[in-house]
Amino acid sequence: MRLRAIPSLGRIAITSGELEYISPHAIVMSGSSIPTYTILEADGQHEENLQEDHLFSENPTHAYHVRFLRGDLSPGETATRKPWTAIPKEIRDEVDGLMILKLYLLEEDLALFPKLKVVVRMGVGYDRIDRPACARRGITVCNVPDYGTEDIADHALGLGLSLRRGILLHHDLQRTEPPAPYTPISHPLIARSRGAVFGILGLGRIGTAVALRAKAFGFHVLFYDPYLPNGADKAIGVERTKNIQDLFRRASILSIHSPCTRETRNMVNYELLSLLPRAAVLINTARGEIVDLDAVERCLREGGLAGAGLDVLPVEPIEEPAHSLIQAYRRREPWLTGRMALTCHTAFFSPSSVEEIRSKSAQTMREVLIDKISSNVILPEME
């Protein structure tokens, strides 16, 4: 296990072979103790600590030391998942704050961190964290709800338009041997955007950004979200339905933007998908667990779904042998030609969004762990 703390500010001390950043803060009254906070970014997303050093030391509210470390349990742009036990016990025993992106944090994992006080999920979703177990241990859970909104919204529209305008269809057919004729293709996927119903399941930050983009393309936007107050539709000029079945019956493109909760897990099943107008397109850039993949495959085979753009899957990374739909996609089976895109949970990704996740995660950790501010806190009863 490689742990690194690369300081750019303050005084450097060597502790147990580790570089430790100790921030040079305010004058301390004689006899008073200065708290030390050990913070671990466990995945290992970056090679240096410049942003974190700055955010943890800027305008201190009181005197404190920060020991910031990076692990390598799941480094950026890899599918690596090392166990939590790969972190040396002497480090685990001192960790006050955990920052995680791709890792799961279950009850048995929490037992490895006796001093843990705050967990920051470096993203919007927090379904990978056992929040009831955190609550029982008095551990505060936070997320970063306001990063990458525009990236995910762009991605959802990109998937929808690539399918609905036949872009993926032509892309696939021009690479067959022999290639398809250099002509338009009559296919259930291909239809005009203007006036078609773009359905949105969940109108939060990302869902709203998608709605505004879809409106700009001329779609009639219809959404379902039982938790929004009356008038949310009026604010952005879209239509609201308070019946989820109505949403599915009318949507030419159905884009999912709800969190994964007890209520929404496997909610989009065959019963709902079979309500979609024939030749509809399904887009999921939210959470794979929301959609029943068996139902997606069945509807694609039956022709009720013309296409599916999936950025997320119920199990990530894909476990082998893969689901039969994924296998058919990989084998380029003719029935699926141009009808499916799989983008490996990357809707959020851009250099700008990665930097945004990084800075906002560190800021949230500082506010909650060090400054004792309730920022982006996910309460145990929240879904």
pLDDT in tens, 325-351: 999 999 999 999 999 999 999 999 999
Say how many C-beta atoms besides its own lie within 10 A of residue 291's C-beta. Answer: 26
Average pLDDT over residues 194-214: 97
pLDDT of 124: 87
Residues 3-49 pLDDT 10s:
443 333 332 222 333 333 344 444 334 445 889 999 999 999 888 88
CA distance 67 to 64: 10
CA 215, 218, 219: angle at the middle one, nearest 5? 70
pLDDT of 32: 55
- The answer to whether the 11-147+351-378 and 149-342 domains have the same CATH topology is yes
Asked if 40 and 94 touch (Cβ cutoff 8 Å), the reply is: no
DSSP string, 116-153: --EEEESSS--TTB-HHHHHHTT-EEE--TTSSHHHHH
CA distance 274 to 271: 6
Output the CATH code of domain 11-147+351-378.
Answer: 3.40.50.720
Half-sphere exposure of 304 (CA within 13 A, CB side): 18
pTM over cut 0.75: yes
Residues 6+ apart with CB under 8 A from 66: 21, 22, 23, 36, 37, 39, 56, 57, 370
pLDDT of 15: 32
Report percent pLDDT > 90 for the chain.
79
Report percent pLDDT > 70 for the chain.
91
Provide the mean pLDDT of the chain. Answer: 90
Backbone φ and ψ of 252, nearest 5°: -75, -40
pLDDT of 383: 58
Q: How confident is the model at residue 93 (pLDDT cuts 50, 70, 90)?
A: very high
Average pLDDT over residues 255-259: 96
pLDDT of 27: 38
Say how many C-beta atoms besides its own lie within 10 A of residue 117's C-beta. Answer: 16
CA proximity to 118, closest of 284, 285, 367, 318 = 367
The strand ranges marked E within the chain are: 11-15, 18-22, 36-41, 65-70, 97-100, 118-121, 140-142, 197-201, 220-224, 239-240, 253-256, 280-284, 305-310, 340-342, 377-378
pLDDT of 4: 42
Q: Does position 78 have pLDDT exceeding 80, yes or no?
A: no
Lowest mean pLDDT among 45-54, 149-158, 354-363: 45-54
Superfamily of domain 149-342: NAD(P)-binding Rossmann-like Domain (3.40.50.720)
3-state secondary structure of 268: strand
CA distance 298 to 313: 16
Residues annotated as catalytic (active site), given as ranges: 287, 316, 345
Q: Does position 109 have pLDDT exceeding 90, yes or no?
A: yes
Residues 6+ apart with CB under 8 A from 5: 18, 19, 20, 21, 49, 67, 68, 69, 70
DSSP string, 80-92: ----GGGS-HHHH
Q: How confident is the model at residue 77 (pLDDT cuts 50, 70, 90)?
A: confident
Say how many C-beta atoms besides its own lie within 10 A of residue 34's C-beta. Answer: 13
Lowest mean pLDDT among 9-13, 230-234, 371-375: 9-13
Give strand pairing partners of 21. 12
3-state secondary structure of 244: helix
Residues 287-324 pLDDT 10s:
999 999 999 999 999 999 999 999 999 999 899 999 99
Extract the tokens encoding 152: 């995910």
Average pLDDT over residues 69-97: 91
Q: Does position 73 have pLDDT exceeding 60, yes or no?
A: yes
Q: How confident is the model at residue 234 (pLDDT cuts 50, 70, 90)?
A: very high
Q: How confident is the model at residue 79 (pLDDT cuts 50, 70, 90)?
A: confident
Helix, strand and coil content of the chain, in percent to the nearest 5, comes to: 30, 20, 50
pLDDT of 262: 87
Extract the tokens encoding 162: 């690539």
CA distance 295 to 249: 16
| Range list of H helices, 323-370 | 324-330, 351-365
Q: Where along the chain do its domains lie?
A: 11-147+351-378, 149-342
Lowest mean pLDDT among 48-57, 113-122, 269-278: 48-57
Which residue's structure tokens are 């694609």?
Answer: 300
Extract the tokens encoding 206: 């990302």
Extract the tokens encoding 188: 């259930």
